[in-house]
Structure 1
């Protein structure tokens, strides 16, 4: 039987404590203007290309932030991206590893990654 589950990721959910602050922070690091509204008082769909990302304050639990990267953002120039994220004040930013990627934390402590594409 052919699987009814498609071989693609539709969206990734990110637990955040304050959906408005998270929307502004994520839009800032992505260089996009917020689009659309916060839905149901706790969900914001980031304006993304490709796989989507949803910020959700209803699934946030204090002290349960991911210590491993939830996902990675692509960057053509990893050095410029590293400097940019540092300027944004991201917490616990690693050095660039293997000239290919680095990790950092969002304001809620979720670990994210940027990879050279």
Structure 2
């Protein structure tokens, strides 16, 4: 029996506790113009390139951010990425690691969500 579920990610939700602050932080991180949240101020769709969408979600303020990153963002310049993170005062939680196929660095958003940026090797 084949599955009717497609192997495509539609949207990733990042739990946040302070929507206006989260929008500003992600806008600085990803260089987009901040906008207004929808759904009575509880959802903000971060502008993305490609099919997969990214949403900041303030519907569950009781969610505890823990564990490894649940997704990653791409970069073509890891050195510039780390410099950008440092300039923004972002908490970087790992050194740049080389695992053969990619280089990656891990960091946290203000809610403690584990995030990662990868560069193809």
TM-score, structure 2 as length reference: 0.86
Partner of 2:4: 4
Taking the aligned partners of 1:83 and 1:57, their CA distance within structure 2 comes to: 29
1:69-92 Cα shifts (integer Å, max 9, x gaps): 121110001111011111111124
The DSSP-based 3-state class of the residue aligned with 1:100 is strand
Q: Deviations over 1:16-72 (max 9, x none)?
A: 00111111111111111124x31122110101112111101112326x113311211
- Segments of structure 2 that go 5 or more residues without pairing to the other structure are none
Report the Cα distance in structure 1 between the residues aligned to 2:38 and 2:96, rounded to whole angstroms. Answer: 36
Runs of 5+ in structure 1 lacking a partner?
A: none
Which has a greater percent of strand? Answer: 2
* Number of equivalent positions: 115
Give every structure 1 segment of 4 or more consecutive aligned residues whose post-TM-superposition deviation is greater than 6 Å: none
Q: Which residue does 1:18 correspond to in 2?
A: 18
